[in-house]
Amino acid sequence: MDNHYAIRVLNLTKYYGDVLAVDHINFEVHSGEIFGFLGPNAAGKTTTVRMVTTLLEPTEGTVLINGYDVSRQPYQAKRQFGLVPEESNVYTELSTWTNLMFTAKLYRVPRGERERRVRELLELFGLQEKEVEKVFSLSKGMRQRLSIAMALIHRPPILFLDEPTLGLDVQSAQLIKERLRQLNAEGTTIFLTTHQIEMADQLCDRVAIIHRGRIVAINTPERLKWAFESRRSVEVSLDGCEPEEWEGLGALPSVTAAVKARDKMRLYTADPAALIVEVVGYAQARGLQVTSLNTLGPSLEDVFLDITGQKIGPGQQKVSRSQCRNCPVRDQCSTEESERPRRRSGLLRSPCDSH
């Protein structure tokens, strides 16, 4: 058994008929890390996670969970992880206590340990006062806490979560994030699938981005940001600025893209120093007062949008092939691998416009 990797995915592939949904992907999740799995809708995220967690049979490839092959050793593999789906899997007609006890029996937790583990998890997730209540009476946030507690009842070394804080109130979302950090500090490996890029940036040691069925980038959030340093920006607020003047600001020579947000405009640029001079000169020439001016590095959201070929704002430039060859995430880039058939019928995938 390889103790270094909690999860290894090797040449994983899934066809639905002639359509290639997941395209020969490879990645590893290190033991003890929080690993984020990001991608736009229909990118292959759900299909990949379903294959990794034994819910869907792959067309090709291998998945190892703590060294156990999910196809050949499914029982041993399933004992290694807990799974929290996006849609809550709790039994609403049962009480909080009964849900946990029932799950403990399913996972064959020894009879003498069940009650103690249930009480520990009720306390961990702040559900002690709700233990006798039927789940249908609980808020969405409390149901999600219960769902995570149920996935942890057998003390798995790996926890899979799909959008664990989506649609939750601030208090529940914050508690769940704190508990995930705590679990990880105690040694649990966490595989987090999410659209909430800010959450991935806050929690994850590394993130993988899947696009059109391929892993197109995988690295730490900070290294991914560094790879897209050209997506730096200047955020400016001008007092008394009219709509046409905001438009003119976005048309300055050093601006590659502009996004207006309430009383500020974020101007993307490869040269922040030059752009600051242009912004100040523009404001002075029109008698406008600069109320705030900040330089910002690329966010993980900027990286995600660039990699998946989505626009940040008007005028965004796509990454060229020459840029791609010099990029620190090139080993995970799909640009130069576009020759592999997208469909079994022989139709080729269109080349990816960016990383």
Is the separation of the CB atoms in 262 and 236 below 8 Å?
Answer: no
In eight-state DSSP terms, residue 349 is P
Take residue 201 and report the two structure tokens written for it: 């940036």
Name the E strands within 164-263: 189-193, 206-211, 214-219, 233-239, 257-261
Residue at 77: amino acid letter: A
- Nearest-5° Cα angle at 108, 107 to 109: 95
Give the model's pLDDT for residue 233: 87
Residue carrying the six token digits 């034994």: 54
R_g of the chain, CA atoms, integer Å: 24
**Per-residue pLDDT, 205:** 96
Q: CB neighbours of 318 closer than 8 A, spacing ≥ 6?
A: 309, 353, 354
Taking CA atoms, 88 is separated from 23, 92, 200, in Å, by: 29, 10, 21
Is 145 in contact with 113 (CB distance < 8 Å)?
Answer: no
Question: How far, rounded to the nearest angstrom, does the alpha carbon of residue 169 sit from its chain's CA centroid?
Answer: 19
Parallel/antiparallel/unpaired status of strands 257-261 and 264-268: antiparallel
Specify the residue for token string 């469909």. 343
What's the DSSP call for residue 8? E
Q: Which residue has the tokens 């990880």?
A: 184
Q: Which two tokens stand for residue 171?
A: 């208090």
Residue 89 has a pLDDT of 83
Q: In sequence order, which residues have a C-beta less than 8 Å from that of residue 25 and are 6 or more positions away? A: 9, 11, 12, 13, 44, 48, 61, 210, 213, 214, 215
How far, in Å, CA of 203 to CA of 150, rounded?
22
Rounded to whole angstroms, the Cα distance separating 165 from 142 reads 11
- The side-by-side arrangement of strands in the sheet containing 206-211 is 81-84, 158-162, 189-193, 34-38, 206-211, 214-219
- The one-digit pLDDT tens for each residue of the chain (355 residues) are 455 899 999 999 999 999 999 999 999 999 999 999 998 888 899 999 999 999 999 999 999 999 999 999 999 999 999 999 887 789 999 999 999 999 999 999 999 899 999 999 999 999 999 999 999 999 999 999 999 999 999 999 999 999 898 888 888 899 999 999 999 999 999 999 988 888 899 999 999 999 999 999 999 988 887 766 667 889 999 998 888 899 999 999 999 889 888 889 999 888 889 999 999 999 999 999 999 999 887 778 778 877 777 655 444 433 333 333 334 443 444 333 333 434 443 333 332 333 3
In angstroms, the CA 96 to CA 54 distance is 27
* Contact present, 217 and 211 (Cβ < 8 Å): no
**DSSP label of 337:** G
